[in-house]
Structure 1
Amino acid sequence: MLVQLTDLLWSYVLIALLIAVGLGFTLSSRFVQFRFFGRMFSVLFGKKEAAKNGQLTSFQALVLSVAGRVGGGNIAGVAVAITIGGPGAIFWMWLVGLMGMATSFFECTLAQAYKTAEPDGSFRGGPAQYISRGIGANWRPLSIVYSILLLITFGVAFTGVQSYAVATSLQDAFHIPLKVSGLALAVVIALIIFGGVKRIARIAEILVPVMAIGYLLLALIVLVMNVTAIPHALELIVKSAFGLGPAVGGGMGAAIMMGMKRGLFSNEAGLGSAPNVAATAFVPHPVNQGIVQSFSVFIDTILLCTCTALIILLGTNYDPASTNIAAGGVALTQASLATHLGESGRIFVSIALLLFGFSTILYNYYLGENSLAFLFRKGKGTLAVMVFRLAVILLCGLGAVANLNSVFAFSDLTMGLLAVANLTALIMLFKKGLRILKHYEDQLKKGIESPVFSAADLPELNLDDKAWPAQTVEKK
C-alpha cells in the first residue's frame, strides 16, 4: 500500500506540480534564476550591514541550506537513481534542478518577506508563515499540516536516511560496525543540537565550504584523468533519458521518476525546507536571499550531483543490468571512485559522506525545531522540543542499522506529501512573489545599488513591520 501510494504521488501528481511551478516561475519571471546568477556574488560579498543578535548573515544562511541539501542525496541518492533509472535519471535530475532554481528563488523570497521578528532580535519564518500570513488565516490548517509533515520528513525520515548512509559508508571503508557508527554519531549530534541554530550555523560555515570544494576538486581530478570519455558519458545520459540506445535501468519511465525523486530529495527545491533557514538571515530585501538560495540549488544538483554521476559512469563498477539498491547506494560511489584513485578514493568518499551527513542531520534538526516553534506557542513547546531532541539522537543510532528500502520508501512518501502542500501554497502566492520581485527590479532600474524593503512598501501583503522596518536607500 505504501509503495502504491508513493508511486501514484510521484508518477502523476508531483511530476505535474513540479513542472508547472518550476516552468511557470521560470517563464513569468523571465528566467530570474539565470538573469540574477551573476548578481549572487555581489549579494553575498558586497557591502552590507552586519547581522546582529540571533540573525544569520546571507552567507551563513546559504551554507546552512547547502549543508542540508548536500548529503546522502548527492552520493548515495545519485547512485540509487542510476541503478534503478539508468544514466538517463541524471538528465531529469538536471531538469528538476534548473527549474528548481526558480522555485527555490520564489519560496525563499516569500519566506524572507513573511518572516517574523522574535523578542531576542532573531527571525523565524518558512512555508508555515507564508501560508498563514500570505494566503490568510483560513488556511492555517494547511500551515499546520505542512509543519507536521516537515517535522516527520526531515526530523524523522531524513535523519534516518543520513545516519544509514554515513554508517554504511564507514563500514565499507573502515570496517566499522554499523552500531558503533550510529552510537558515535548520536553522541556528537547530542553535544551540538543543544546549542541552537547559531552554533549549528557556525559549524556549517566551516564544514560546508571545505567539504563541498574538496569533493569538487576530487571530482575534477577524476574528470581530467578521463577527459576523453566525458562526451560519451554525457551522450549516454541524454540518450538514456529518452529511451534511446541500449536499454539500461528500468527504461525511460523509471529514469524520469527516479530523476525527479532523487533530484528533489537532493536539492529540496519546492519542499519548503530551505525557506525555514533563508528566513533567519538579515538582508536588506527579500529577493537577495531568493537569489542566494537559487544558487544553492545549482551547487547541489548541477555541480555536485553531476560530479557523482560522472565518477560512477566513468568507472568500471556500474552494472546496467543490476537493480540491487544496496549495491547501488554509497558503496557504488565508493567503489567507482576507487577504480579511479585507488583505495584512497574509497576512504575520501567515506569521510566526505560523514561530513555531509553530519551537517545535514544538524540542518534537519533545525527544521524540526522550527516546525515545533510554529505548532506550539512560546513556553508550551519546551517539552516537545526536548522530546524531539531525544528522538533525533535515538534516530541517529537506530537509522544506522535500518533497512534502506523501508527508509527510502517512507521518506519518498512524506517528502511527496510535503512538496504537494508547499507547491500548492506557492501557486496561490504566485502573484505576491512576482510583486516582491518587481519591487526589487524597479529599484535597480532607478539606479539603487542595493534595493531595500520595508513592510510599509507593500502593505497589502500583511508583513511584520518589526521584521521589515524602514531602511535607508543607497544610490550608485
Structure 2
Amino acid sequence: MFKTFEGLVASFSAWVWDWPLLVLLIGGGTFFLIYSRFTPFFYFKHAIDVLRGKYDSEYAPGQLSHFQALSSAIAATVGMGNISGVAVAIVMGGPGAVFWMWISALIGMATKFYTCSLSVMYRSKDNDGNFLSGPMYVITNGLGARWKPLAILFALAGLVGTLPAFTANQLTQTLIDVLDWDDEYKWYIGITLAGIASLVILGGIKRIGIVASKLVPFMVVLYFVTVITILILQIQVVPEMFMLIFSDAFSGDAAAGGALGYLIKTGVKRAAFSNEAGIGTAPMMHGTAKTNEPIREGLVAMMGPAIDTLLVCTLTALAILSTGVWQRTDDNGISLTLEAFNTVLPYGLGNVVVLIMVLVFAFSTLFSYSYYGTTCLGFLTKPKYGKYYNYIYIFSIIIAAVVKIDFAINLIDSAFAIMAIPTVFSGLLLAPKVNAMAKVYFKNLNR
C-alpha cells in the first residue's frame, strides 16, 4: 500500500515539475524583475539599513522586528536544503545545476520583493490582535472572496509542504552516518528530535523569532568560515570548478541522460526548495513584521535568496565539486556533503563540524516550518485552532526520520509545486498595487 502511494507521489512530482511549473516560477519571476525595472536592486543598501534596525519602531504593528522576520524566514530556508539539497542537485543534474540555482535565486529576489510586500499589504488579524499573513490572505483580501478556492488550495498544500519530511530525514541520516549507528536507531533519534523541537514551537511565533534571530547569524558565519577553509585548502581547483559549472550549465553533459532540460529543472527545483521564492512560505513570516511600510519588508525579504542560494548554496557546491567526491561515490544528500568535508579536513573533524552545523541548520528549519503549518491550518479552520497543527508536526518528525530520502524529496516537491501556483498567480495579478506603493515609498525616501 505504502509503495503504491510512494510511486504515485514520485510520478506526480515528476509530472508537476515539468515545463508548465518551470515557466510559472521562472517566467513569473522574470516578469517581476522586468516589471519592477530592477528598482528594488538599487536599494540593497537601504534594505541592509532596515535590517540593522535603523527604521524600527516599537509602536509599529506586528509581532517580529525586520531582523527577526528575515532570520525566521532564513532559518526555514538556510537549512538542510543548503547542505543536503545542493548535493542532491549535483548528483541528479551535474555541476551545471548550480548555475540554474543561481539564475533562479536572482529571479527569486524579485519574486520575494513582490510576494512579501503583498503579505504586509493584505495581512489580517486574529482575535488576539496578532497578524496573520501569507498567500491565502493576500488572495482573499487582495483579490476578493471569489478567489478563495485558490487560497484554500494553497493552505491545503501548505499543510503537507511545511511538514519536516526532508529536514528530519537528513538530520537523522547525519547522526547515523557520523555516529556509525544502525538504522534501527532512527526511531529513537526521531523521538528525541520531536521532543527538542516541541520546546520551541509550542511557544509560538515570538519564541520562534527570538530563537531564530540567535541561531541564524551563528550558523551562517560558522558555515562560511568552515567552507572557506576547505576552499582555501583546495584553492588550486576552485577556478576550474567555476568553469565546470558554467560549461556544464548549457551542455548538460554531466546531467542524467545529458539532457539540458532535465538539468534546468533540477537546478530550479532545488533552488525552490532552498530559497522558496515563489512558493509562499516566506510571506507568512514576513507578514508578521513590525512595520507600516509593506515595501520596506519586501526589500528585506529580497535579501533572503541572496544569502541562502547565492552565498550558502554556492559554498556547499564548491566544497563538493572541488573535492571530486560527486564523481566517485553513489552517496547522495547529506552523506555526500559529509564525505566532501572529511576528504579535506583532518580525520574526524569533518564529522564534528558537519554534525554541529546540521544540528543548528536543521533545528532552525524545524522551528520555523511549524509556524507555516499552523498558519495554514488556522486559515482553513479558525486562527485559534492553528496551534493544533504543532502536534501533527511533532509526530511527523518521528515518521520522517525513518522514511526514504527519495520519498521525502518527492513529497515536498509535490506540495511546493501546488503552493507555487496560487502564490505566483496572485502576485502577478496584484503586482500593479506593489508598483504603485513602491513609487510613493521610493519617492519619499529620496527626498
TM-score range relative to shorter protein: over 0.9
Say which of 259, 262, 267 aligns to 2:270.
Answer: 262
What is the aligned partner in structure 1 of residue 332 from structure 2? 328
What is the aligned partner in structure 2 of residue 467 from structure 1? none
**Could you give the per-residue CA deviations for residues 267-312 of structure 1, whole angstroms, max 9, x where no partner exists?**
0000110000001011231111111111011100000000000000
8 Å contact from structure 2 (residues 93, 254) kept in 1: no
Q: Secondary structure at the match of 1:269?
A: coil
Q: How far did residue 164 of structure 1 move?
A: 0.5
Q: Secondary structure at the match of 2:151?
A: helix
**Could you give the per-residue CA deviations for residues 292-349 of structure 1, whole angstroms, max 9, x where no partner exists?**
11101110000000000000001132217x6x5xx12101101101111132122211
Moved more, 115-124 or 400-409: 115-124
Q: Which amino acid aligns with 2:341?
A: L
Cα RMSD between the aligned structures? Answer: 1.8
8 Å contact from structure 1 (residues 55, 282) kept in 2: yes
Q: How does 1:256-405 map to 2 (within 5 A)?
A: 256-319=264-327, 324=330, 327-342=331-346, 343-378=348-383, 381=385, 385-386=387-388, 388-405=389-406
Paired with 1:5 and 1:178, the residues of 2 have a C-alpha distance of 28
Deviating above 6 A after TM superposition, structure 1's stretches of 4 or more consecutive aligned residues are none
| Alignment pair present for 1:193 and 2:193 | no
Q: How far did residue 220 of structure 1 move?
A: 1.4
8 Å contact from structure 1 (residues 312, 336) kept in 2: yes
Q: What 5-or-longer segments of structure 1 have no aligned partner?
A: 448-476
8 Å contact from structure 1 (residues 51, 57) kept in 2: no
Paired with 1:373 and 1:436, the residues of 2 have a C-alpha distance of 29
Paired with 1:438 and 1:346, the residues of 2 have a C-alpha distance of 50
Change (3 A) 1:196 1:429: same
Paired with 1:143 and 1:283, the residues of 2 have a C-alpha distance of 24
Say which of 79, 95, 103 aligns to 1:95.
Answer: 103
Paired with 2:254 and 2:124, the residues of 1 have a C-alpha distance of 52
Paired with 2:430 and 2:295, the residues of 1 have a C-alpha distance of 15
**Could you give the per-residue CA deviations for residues 27-63 of structure 1, whole angstroms, max 9, x where no partner exists?**
1112134212121111112143126796110000010
Q: How far did residue 407 of structure 1 move?
A: 1.4
Q: Which amino acid aligns with 2:387?
A: V
Paired with 1:36 and 1:120, the residues of 2 have a C-alpha distance of 35
Say which of 64, 77, 100 aligns to 1:69.
Answer: 77
Q: Which amino acid aligns with 1:349?
A: V
Paired with 2:426 and 2:60, the residues of 1 have a C-alpha distance of 31
- The alignment-based identity, stated in percent, is 35
Q: How does 1:409-428 map to 2 (within 5 A)?
A: 409-428=410-429
8 Å contact from structure 2 (residues 175, 355) kept in 1: yes
What is the aligned partner in structure 1 of residue 118 from structure 2? 110
Which has the larger helix fraction? 2
8 Å contact from structure 2 (residues 56, 66) kept in 1: no
Q: Secondary structure at the match of 1:227?
A: coil
8 Å contact from structure 1 (residues 32, 102) kept in 2: no
Q: Which amino acid aligns with 2:246?
A: V
Paired with 1:133 and 1:362, the residues of 2 have a C-alpha distance of 28
**Could you give the per-residue CA deviations for residues 161-215 of structure 1, whole angstroms, max 9, x where no partner exists?**
1100100011111234322221110111122222111111111111111011110
Say which of 22, 29, 40 aligns to 2:29.
Answer: 22
Change (3 A) 1:53 1:94: closer
**Could you give the per-residue CA deviations for residues 379-431 of structure 1, whole angstroms, max 9, x where no partner exists?**
5x2xx632x22221111111111111111111111111111221111111121
**Could you give the per-residue CA deviations for residues 55-109 of structure 1, whole angstroms, max 9, x where no partner exists?**
1100000100000011111011100100010000000000000000000111000
Change (3 A) 1:119 1:248: closer
8 Å contact from structure 2 (residues 115, 280) kept in 1: yes
8 Å contact from structure 1 (residues 334, 345) kept in 2: yes
8 Å contact from structure 2 (residues 63, 288) kept in 1: yes
Change (3 A) 1:250 1:352: farther
Say which of 31, 39, 48 aligns to 1:41.
Answer: 48
8 Å contact from structure 1 (residues 108, 289) kept in 2: yes
Moved more, 311-320 or 270-279: 311-320
Q: Which amino acid aligns with 1:375?
A: L
Q: What 5-or-longer segments of structure 2 have no aligned partner?
A: 1-7
8 Å contact from structure 1 (residues 53, 121) kept in 2: no
| Alignment pair present for 1:3 and 2:7 | no
What is the aligned partner in structure 1 of residue 3 from structure 2? none
Paired with 2:139 and 2:55, the residues of 1 have a C-alpha distance of 32
Q: Secondary structure at the match of 2:327?
A: coil
Change (3 A) 1:54 1:111: closer
Paired with 1:289 and 1:54, the residues of 2 have a C-alpha distance of 12
Change (3 A) 1:114 1:291: same
What TM-score comes out, normalization by structure 1 length? 0.87
